[in-house]
Amino acid sequence: MSSKKEPKQGSARADVTRRGFIRGVGVGGGALGAGVLEREAEAQPAGAQTAGPGPVPVVLSVNGKTHNLTLEPRVTLLDALRDYLDYTGAKNVCDRGVCGACTVLLGGKAVYACSVLAIDAQGKEIQTIESLSAPGAAPHPLINAFVQNDAQQCGFCTPGFVMASKAFLDRNPNPTYEQVKDGLGGNLCRCGTYVGLRKAVLQAAKSMKGARNG
Amino acid sequence: MADAPNYSWPPQEKRRVIGKPTTRLDGFVKSSGRAKYSSDVQRPGMLHGAMLTCPHAHARIKSIDASAAETSKGVMAVVPMAKAGHEVQYAGFQVVAVAAATIDQARDALRKIKVDYEVLPHFVTERDIDKAGPRGKPSGDQVTGDPDQAFKDADVISEGFYGIPVLNHCTLETHGDVIEWKGDQLNYWPSTQSLSSIGGELAKAVAIPATNVHTHMDYMGGGFGSKFTFDRWGLACAQLSQKSGGRAVKLFLDRANDHETAGNRPSYFANIKLGAKKDGTMTVWQSESWATGGVNGISLAPNAIPYIFRGTPNKRLKHISVSINAAEQRAWRAPNNPQFSYLTCTAMDDLAAKLNMDPVEFFYKNLEYASGPPGAEVYRAQLRKAADLAEWNKLWHPRGQSGGGIVVRGLGIGFNAWGGLGHASSCRTKIHPDGSVEVEIGSQDLGTGTRTVIAIVAAETLGLPVRAVKVNIGDNKYPVSGASGGSTTVGGVSASTRKSTMNALVKLFEAAAPALGTTPDQLEAADGKIQVKDTPAKSLTWKAACQKLGARTIEEVVDSNPRNSLGLMSGGAGGAQIADVSVDTETGVVKVNRMVAVQDCGMVVNPTTAESQCYGAMIFSINGALHEERIMDPATGRILNPDMEFYKLSGIGDVGELVVHLNMEPEIDKRGVIGLGEPPVIGGIAAIANAVTNAIGVRPPVVPITPDKVLAALERRKA
């Protein structure tokens, strides 16, 4: 994860030190790993400026709406969305940037929201699954395709897959079956919905293409 | 009402919605991220809980000092979960729970707690039974017939070692809940497979009447057998909420602790010796098996194997239960049956190879030993069908004769058997004067499609479109229904819904009959109308008929159970699966080209979700055969992979073509509804392992068959 992005004017500084960050996330990482990382971080030259550890103002733009929050710099984008803004479509599953259940789009790119700090998500448009079925608007073709192809069972991985699929189709509007298998390799499902998922993404690609041509 | 209505399922050809593919009712809310799981629940002033866990596999707690946590920033409650003197039997055992304003503050507080342990010796690996010593407890020997004589008389003998390791449930939504006290009432949002009973159990633990607990769960993120009880953390969550003055507390396990403590499936290892006649008849089975289910071992009946082929005339069976320092096992989709099937079907496949016999013909012949439903003839037909779909005659070759080349291909077979008789279920149907219909059951939809099944059965009975039925589940204010385990839900809720909606319909007939100038028994519901049976032109629209109720709502509650289910449901499903794999002999990587499942589940209510169950089950099997295992570290006694990075699951690209054939023939259909969650998950691991062995000519004895095991097996073959 990078914490080196330029902070947005008027919002909290995003240049969190590695040390502070590692301390923040270290609990889940196991005592040994965190200790080693922390010592390594101590050896780094400290940044000129630090944010936190106390709460700082954070401005997030989610689905076109601006949210002014006060968050500790260690708060992940996922926790900010879920615990502070009630966007609960993105799920916390592996907590480690592996399974993709927390996938959201940050500046149009798919990211694991569990592995991005909220302060680093400032200044970019954050798009969550909730944006694909805005009240009063037709649901995104991916949602229909997921329903029609039964691409969900328990459904816990599903929002992440839909967002990953959106980012994938935005880049590859006309994918082959093989490309779908490669392109969605960053998400995991436990129930085993991959058969429906593969069909859903291909069907959505077709219907989105139709929409563009129309 | 004079006579009880005829509850029987309509004849296959007359069904309008049962047996027709229907997209799931909750597909949109799930795919749009709007489904609120219990871990998504937000309450005013809600606190976040976290737990301190024991890092040792075996230790005695000498002292706990949580005073610094009490005063840590944001902390509202601290609850000890164990006392000094407690002997901890596995790493990850929860010792203290904390609730704070944020999850990070709760974790900060945990770091300030001091627990002093006396570390004790541990034992965590059971694969080598000779090292188990006193941790292994024999659970009985059984002898049938004369195995010694049978081995003497056998033309061919095959011997081998086989093993299948402990797995984790790895539910994507971890275990946990949100709990909020309101005076002496408790609001409870669990992630559970047992909505109707879990609140009452928690009530007992916190000493309040069961009626004071209000349990609600709309969606849950996977259970697979591991989410039936409120668990130690459920009690801790209730105590944290109580201690913090009734504020809601959300307490879900973190990923690592979930793997450590909240669900694992027993292992199963065996040395197996089989004998057969030249014609392929297996005459004798001898096995010495052992397994662990964690700290309490696992007491499996010695005759659990041979699986399905139980009628084998001569048997000698020994079993040892091994206790290790790991959390207790939990039910895991078809508890222990995948292990039984794996040991049985792999050992038999090796016997077939020794006989130089085509496994299809070998299994076909020995299915005469098949015990219980669905019976040998169903299995034989399934085996033939699966072989057709897998192009067995074209693609199969004798073991190891894959024609050379770096990438070699093979086929393998596995079988399943499961009960799946529906559970007790109560159902309330409401028909309102405005024509709206509600069906209420205290059940839960784990993702299997329960909601949709209930709506389909109600719609079929009432002659309405599926989406005209509002299904209310997931709250303990609805009539009590069984837990979702053992494939018991679809039968249970189908039977209770059928009866309840039928009774309600009879009441509606009574209200509508005068307007149609006939008697209630002459009426039927079809295509959104209430009509006279022989003269459908004489009819009322559904709405017009419901208006005849005046201000009255029909409410019909039915208690259904296996004894009064009148053939609406039954048990005893079976299936055959064939895997087609390619193995790269240089890298050891196994790729599933295709898997075929032929499956019986009685009457199919919704082919869409039934097929999804089978697809998912086959992917479970690919995981179990090739990727998935809990790895224990003998040195530290801890799990090395309590995460999703090294606890491997298939990705979307790791799954080949999956083919499902559901048996829907009249003689299968007439058995009524049979559960499908478990059966198709059972035989696939054996099928894949047999396919790999067929491809490379030598058996990697222990799954998952990771590349290193393929390469080691190939080395053994050369040597």
Residue-wise pLDDT for B74-88, tens only, equals: 999 999 999 999 999
The answer, yes or no, to whether residue B452 has pLDDT greater than 50, is yes
Asked if A158 has any chain B CB less than 8 Å from its own CB, the reply is yes
Say if residue A13's pLDDT is above 90: no
CA distance B157 to B286: 11
Q: What angle do CA B632, B223, B622 make, to 5 degrees?
A: 60
Which residues are bridge partners to B632 per DSSP? B639
- Rounded Cα distance between B344 and B350, Å, is 10
Q: By the 8 A CB rule, do B335 and B301 touch? A: no
The answer to whether the Cβ–Cβ distance between B23 and A150 falls below 8 Å is yes
Whether A174 has its CB under 8 Å from any CB of chain B: the answer is no
Instruction: Compute the average pLDDT of residues A118-139.
Output: 96
| B278 residue type, one letter | K
Q: What is the per-residue pLDDT for A46? A: 53
Q: How far apart are CA B443 and CA A40, in angstroms?
A: 52
User: H-helix or E-strand containing A181?
Assistant: helix A177-183
Say what percent of chain B tops pLDDT 70: 100
What is the per-residue pLDDT for B374?
87
Best of A95, A150, A180, A187 to substitute, by most chain B Cβ atoms within 10 angstroms, is A150
Quote the pLDDT of residue B515.
97
Q: Give the amino acid at B302.
A: P
Instruction: Write out pLDDT tens, residues B267-280.
Output: 999 999 999 999 99
Model confidence at A7: pLDDT above 70: no
DSSP string, B442-461: B----SS-HHHHHHHHHHHH
Mean pLDDT of chain B: 97
Mean pLDDT of A113-140: 96
> In 3-state terms, what secondary structure has residue B308?
coil
Question: Residue B446 is nearest to which of A89, A154, A185, comparing CB atoms?
Answer: A154
CB B266, CB B343: distance < 8 Å = no
Q: Report the distance separating Cα B124 and Cα A152, nearest Å.
A: 36
> pLDDT digit string (tens) for B33-83?
999 999 999 999 999 999 999 999 999 999 999 999 999 999 999 999 999
Q: pLDDT tens digits for B654-684?
A: 999 999 999 999 999 999 999 999 999 999 9
Window 184-203 of A, Cβ < 8 Å to B: 184-185, 187-198
Q: What percent of chain B has pLDDT over 90?
A: 97
- Chain B positions touching A181 (Cβ under 8 A) are 652-653
Tokens (6 digits) for B414: 């596995």
Nearest to B171 by CA among B264, B284, B35, B244: B264
Question: pLDDT tens digits, residue range B185-241?
Answer: 999 999 999 999 999 999 999 999 999 999 999 999 999 999 999 999 999 999 999
| Cα–Cα distance, B688 to B703 (Å, whole number) | 10
Query: Do residues B713 and B603 lie in contact, with contact meaning Cβ atoms separated by under 8 Å?
Result: no
CA distances from B498 to A75, A83, B441, B502, B561 (A): 50, 42, 12, 6, 12
Structure-model confidence comparison of residues A54 and B404, the more confident one? A54
d(CA B644, CA B655): 18
Split at pLDDT 50, 70, 90, the class of B714 is very high
Q: Which residues pair with A126 in a beta bridge?
A: A62, A106
Q: Residues of B numbered 29-88 whose beta carbons fall under 8 angstroms of chain A's beta carbons: which are they?
A: 30-37, 39-40, 42, 48, 55
What tokens were used for B313? 């005339």
Rounded Cα–Cα distance for residues B651 and B536 (Å):
53
Is B476 within 8 Å of B501 (Cβ atoms)?
A: no
Give B 174-213 residues with CB within 8 A of chain A.
174
Q: How confident is the model at residue B301 (pLDDT cuts 50, 70, 90)?
A: confident
What sign does the CA torsion over B443, B562, B452, B507 have?
negative
Please tell me the predicted confidence (pLDDT) of residue B393: 98
- How do residues B545-568 score in pLDDT, each as one tens digit? 999 999 999 999 999 999 999 999
Residue type, B435: G
Q: Residue B48: beta bridge partners?
A: B100, B250
Kind of pairing between the strands at A125-127 and B314-322: unpaired
Q: Which of helix, strand or coil describes residue B642?
A: coil
Give the confidence band of A47 by pLDDT, cuts at 50, 70, 90. Answer: low
pLDDT for position A31:
37
Asked whether the predicted pLDDT for residue B711 surpasses 50, the reply is yes
Kindly tell me the burial class for residue B303, based on how many C-beta atoms sit within 10 Å of its own C-beta (0-12, 13-18, 19 or more). Answer: middle
Instruction: Write out pLDDT tens, residues B414-435.
Output: 999 999 999 999 999 999 999 9
- Cβ–Cβ under 8 Å, residues A20 and A54: no
Q: Is the pLDDT of residue B250 over 70?
A: yes
> In chain A, which residues have their Cβ closer than 8 Å to the Cβ of B30?
152, 155, 158
Integer Cα distance of B506 and B512 in angstroms: 10
SS3 state at B438: strand
Q: How buried is B52 (Cβ within 10 angstroms: 0-12 exposed, 13-18 middle, 19+ buried)?
A: buried
Q: Which chain A residue has its CA at the smallest distance from B333's CA?
A: A191
- What is the per-residue pLDDT for B140? 80
B436 touches chain A (CB under 8 A): no
Q: What angle do CA B697, B346, B270 make, to 5 degrees?
A: 115
pLDDT tens-place string over residues A20-35: 444 444 333 333 334 4
Interface with B, mutate which of A115, A168, A184, A195 (most B CBs under 10 A): A195
The DSSP secondary structure of B271-285, one letter per residue, reads EEEEEE-TTS-EEEE
Q: What residues of chain B lie within 8 A of the CB of A82, using their CB?
A: 40
Q: Find chain A residues with C-beta within 8 A of B31's C-beta.
A: 142-143, 146-147, 151-152, 155, 158-159, 162
CA dihedral (B288, B289, B295, B296) in degrees, to 10, reads -80
| H or E, element range at A103 | strand A103-106
Tell me the backbone φ, ψ of residue B270, rounded to 5 degrees: -160, 145
Mean of per-residue pLDDT scores for chain A: 83
Q: What is the DSSP letter of A113?
A: G
- Kindly write down the DSSP assignment for every residue of B512-565, as one continuous string: HTGGGTS-GGGEEEETTEEEESS-TTSEEEHHHHHHTTTTPPEEEEEEE-GGG-
B173 interfaces chain A, CB cutoff of 8 Å = yes
* Contact present, B470 and B484 (Cβ < 8 Å): no
Rounded Cα gap, residues A58 and A17, in angstroms: 17
B646 at interface of A, judged by CB pairs closer than 8 A: no
Provide the residue type at B566 as one letter. Answer: L
Overall average pLDDT of the B583-610 stretch: 98
CB pairs < 8 Å spanning A and B: 188
Report the SS3 class of residue B633. coil
Asked whether residue A38 carries a pLDDT value surpassing 50, the answer given is no
* Statement: residue A3 has pLDDT above 90: no
**Strand A65-71 to A56-62 pairing:** antiparallel
- Confidence class for position A48, pLDDT limits 50, 70, 90: low
Cross-strand partners of B271 = B161, B288
Whether residue B282 has pLDDT greater than 90: yes
Distance of CA B89 to the CA centre of its chain: 27
As given in the structure block, the two tokens for residue B490 are 């679809």
Label residue A212 by pLDDT band (50, 70, 90): low
On the CB side of B96, CA atoms within 13 Å amount to 26
- CB neighbours of residue A202 within 10 Å: 18
- Asked whether the beta carbons of B217 and B197 are under 8 A apart, the reply is no
